[in-house]
Structure 1
Amino acid sequence: MAEKANHHFIPQLYLRNFSAGRDRRKAKVFCFDQSTNKTFETLVRNVGSRRHFFRINVEGLDPNHVEDGMAEIEGEIAPLLEEVIATRSFLSHKHFSAVMTLIGNVAVRNPRFRSMLEDLHVKMANGMMRAVLQDKERFRDSIKQARDNGAPIRDDISYEDMKSFIDRGEFNIAIDQTYLINLELDAVPTCVEQLARRVWSFASAPAGSTFATCDDPVILAWADGENRGPYSPGFGLPNTVVLFPIAPELALVGLFAKQPANREFRRDQVTELNTSVAKNTAKQIYARDGEFELHTRSEPYTRGKDLPSALGRQRARAKADG
């Protein structure tokens, strides 16, 4: 049996909801790729994925153990999500839990979150190494402790050699992928718990307007729209909102406050949400077609299919302005 190499961090069951076709096996989406500034139509299975993204290295477990386990969970979520979209409601606690599980996994198990985890651990490792090398005595104590714990450390590396090596910075620190995947799996239940504490509203798009999604579609922001720095707030913080498009005509809005179970969005509200989706995009925006609208910095209500030319004009104006 062929090995599963293409691991989807954006579940196919989710992206299929943005497909115009009836054949789920051949479901396609409209895509705008920021890295190439191009639009195209492609099969759902070709996007929202990375090679061996969830591959683990654990004795006694298949390397695709995590990927296969998530596939089983997604198989249970798929019919429940379809019913939620069709009725625009949580028909049962099971339906609610399924959607919260989907949002939590999408929010945590993605390349951007993993990159943040990896960067944090690299910074921690660098800090620990420099702390150990503050003086010779601390260095010798650390070497002894490491050897006592079974680390095979050579005898011919002096404090001076190690300090010079670290100061030059001519090295890379690699964080084990299995370790990072374990951290992600540990973070999902906490995220789901905080999502489930929110009050959720189904936001419907008006005729002629549609929602888009992307490769990092869980939008967490301050409810008042203010920008409080480069980092997003935590999922458990009050006065925050979670936005999550689940179909071209439907999105979820989660607040720590009372709100109606259903609301009708205006065209401008749909466009604002699509703009937030675009800002949250790592690389690609997905939609049923290229008719969805968003705002660029210089051109309001830009259609998805017109993004390459609109962004080209934006860059040209920026260049002309110096």
Structure 2
Amino acid sequence: MASNKNQHFVPRCYLKAFTQGGGGAAINLFNLDRRRSISGAPVKNQCSGDYFYGEDLEIERALQDIEGAYANLLAKVLSPGYQLTDEGRHLLTFFWVIQYLRTEAASRRSIEFSIELEELAADSDQVPRLGIREAVRLSMEAFPEAAKNVADLKVRLVRNRTELPFVVCDDPAIIASRWHAVDPRAKGVTYGVGSSGVILLLPLSPDVLFLAFDPSMYSISSANGWVETRREDDIRALNDHQFLNARANLYFRDWDFRNYLETESEVLLDRRPAARHRVTYAVPTDAPEGWERYKVVNYKPGPKDGKALMHVQSVQPVPRQWPSFLGWRADGSVYSNGTGVGFLRRGVTLLHGGKFKKLPSRST
């Protein structure tokens, strides 16, 4: 068991493409807190923890099979002449979902939420506080549902033809939404993998990036599944998500690009969220007999407030720009049932059931 003690939440087979010379042993990193670049850090010590998935190794062993399949596919993707197949699309999307759910950052978001619940509850003994391992397991249990909710997305591989590399962070599987950032109907609405307008991002190497997108919202031209860009602004737009999503470190292969990371981190500092979720509280107020009415308050309710409501909203940062090849569909659409579930894609509404209304994606 001791040989599996150090368990990676960003696997070494994934980081290998960003290591020095692609050898898999050492990697360059930029630490955001210290604003300092470090050359040749051991990969075995990055994005890992002792028995991160538990001492029974059940999750660890299951992940090893997935990581092996990913490593084999990545070798093909990075080889000359590769054309994206349905099998490749499914495996890369599958790997994105696993990576999105498995990181320490994802687990810590669950822990922070459980702490908020515990502090609000009148009887905190009824709200068990999650530890990192419990949070990991709960997160991984969400995989089947998450996998179903991304099955309708289109997949592209972005080939970087510039001198500027893709970089990667310690929480590299990104979910973003250009639509939520610009449409007034989506103001204050949290989005997830089943939402309209989502974009999934995962750099695969300094030269290749996985991108999945809502085809009812966006249009991306491609050839054999590939999009090529020679615009450094496109690479900066995609790298912004890694800067904004990082917990502690950014990783990069070529030491000569450390100045780029240092400069960009200063520019993006104000865009990085101080917290990954926002909590809104509401307490009872006067209401007609037989009804309940609540008002939003700017403090955390206590016992004197009696029953209270808590709404947790993810804080999702917005990049400075979006890649030039990400176009809008003229006939784009979203689906809503007017509730807090937000705006969903048609395929996801069929999984949820209930009545959803089709709306144009561009507000008038």
Per the TM superposition, whether the score is higher than 0.5 is: yes
Q: Shift in Å at residue 307 of structure 1? A: 4.3
The residue number in structure 1 matching 2:247 is: 282
Alpha carbons of 1:279 and 1:16: their partners in 2 closer, same or farther (altered >3 Å)? Answer: same
The one-letter code sitting in structure 1 at the alignment partner of 2:12 is Q
CA distance in 2, matches of 1:174, 1:185: 18
- For residue 46 of structure 2, what is the aligned residue in structure 1? 47
Shift of 1:97: 2.7
SS, match of residue 303 in structure 1 = helix
The aligned residue for residue 203 of structure 1 is: 158
Q: Following the alignment from structure 1 to structure 2, what is the Cα–Cα distance between the partners of residues 238 and 287?
A: 32
Give the equivalent residue in structure 2 for 1:262: 226
- Is the 1:89–1:202 Cα contact (8 Å) retained in structure 2? no
User: 1:148-297 alignment to 2 at 5 Å?
Assistant: 174-224=129-179, 226=181, 233-257=191-215, 258-259=219-220, 260=222, 261-265=225-229, 266-292=231-257
Structure 2: which 5+ residue stretches go unaligned? 271-364
Deviation at 1:126, TM superposition (A): 4.2
Q: What amino acid is the match of 1:29?
A: I
- Segments of structure 1 that go 5 or more residues without pairing to the other structure are 57-62, 133-165, 294-301, 316-322
**AA of the residue aligned to 2:136:** I
Partner of 2:89: 96
CA contact (8 A) 1:211 1:274 kept: yes
Amino acid corresponding to residue 248 of structure 2 in structure 1: K
Structure 1 or 2, whichever has the larger Rg, is 1
CA distance in 2, matches of 1:218, 1:235: 12
| Offset at residue 290 of structure 1 (A) | 3.7
Instruction: Please give the per-residue CA displacement for 1:235-274, whole angstroms capped at 9, x wherever unaligned.
Output: 1111121222111111122111143332222111101211
Report what 1:139 is aligned to.
none
Letter in 2 for 1:288: R
Distance 2:248 2:132 in 1: 22
- 1:3 Cα shift? 4.2
Task: State the SS of the aligned residue for 1:36.
Answer: coil
- Normalising by structure 1, what TM-score? 0.69
- Per the alignment, residue 59 of structure 2 pairs with 66
In the alignment, what sits opposite 1:7?
A: 7
CA distance 1:69–1:240, change in 2 (3 Å): closer
The Cα of 1:178 is off from its aligned counterpart by 4.8
C-alpha spacing 1:262/1:49, structure 2 compared with 1 (3 Å): same
Distance of 2:190 and 2:45 partners within structure 1: 29
- Matched residue of 1:196: which SS? coil
Query: 1 or 2, which has the higher strand percentage?
Result: 2
- The amino acid across from 1:303 in the alignment is Y
With a CA cutoff of 8 Å and minimum separation of 6, indicate the structure with the bigger relative contact order: 1
User: Which residue matches 1:303?
Assistant: 260
More helix by share: 1
Distance 2:187 2:103 in 1: 22
